Structure 1
Amino acid sequence: MSIKHADGGTGKPRSPIAVANESSRDTLKHGAESRFMHGLATEEFEEENYIGEYSLGEDGRVWIKDDRAESGHLVLHAERMGLVRPLFRFNRFIYVYGVNPEAPAPILGAVMFLSDGERIHQCIWEHDGREAFFPRKVEAENLKKA
């Protein structure tokens, strides 16, 4: 029995596609391996989308502020730790901060921004290799209610 695929192919595995982005070369896969990657490869977000308040619930708040006009960076303000650090872009969704505020290395922490496909709604904030937090973005309409 022969199976004919919708694309007219023979059913032989296709080779992955190499795509260049601003940080390096990524490989996009086909089939089941690509189910979650479509959104990552096509999302178009700018730094403005990351700016705002993020809630840690009872553990406080985190802000990403825009200081690009002065320092050229987004700035992390972590209420819980009293931490204020400029963020250095690692790639499209990941920013790092260093032990010394003037340099990204040695790395003290990282912030990875997550989307639901339409907007940035959460981030993963890892600090000092020991703690990870998952603050959710507070939307403008929720800020008006508070």
Structure 2
Amino acid sequence: MSVRPTPGGVSHRLFRPYTSPNHNVTKGRYITSNDPRGYIPVYEYPLLGQWIMMDMDDGYILWTGIWKALGHSKADIVKMVESEPELAARIRRVRGGYLKIQGTWMPYEVALRLSRRVAWHIRYDLVPLFGCV
């Protein structure tokens, strides 16, 4: 992740995957009515039968992919969100449309914090999203 200046001097993050010799990260663009853009542009790669995705524009991470790669069910995400009320206001839920992008999306910093807490055993597989472990 890097920071780039915009015209007018305001900086914002530029979300790009980190290099990993073990993962083939590709770009995708999925149409959805759940997003004001009408689509979600992503970096994506497969992990343990799930798709790991990062929104190219704002860095939101498809937490459902990580969570299911850990062997948890979608219902467990609901319990986790309910147990952390401050998290509920920061997530996006994509329902309907292309199955690959459906699920719970979280801001980069939130997904990083949660991954450090619960995804230690797949940390090397999350290098493209979060960098060095």
Q: TM-score, normalised by structure 1?
A: 0.27
More helix per residue: 1 or 2? Answer: 2
Higher RCO structure, 1 or 2 (CA under 8 Å, sep 6+) = 2
Q: Which has the larger radius of gyration?
A: 1
More strand per residue: 1 or 2? Answer: 1
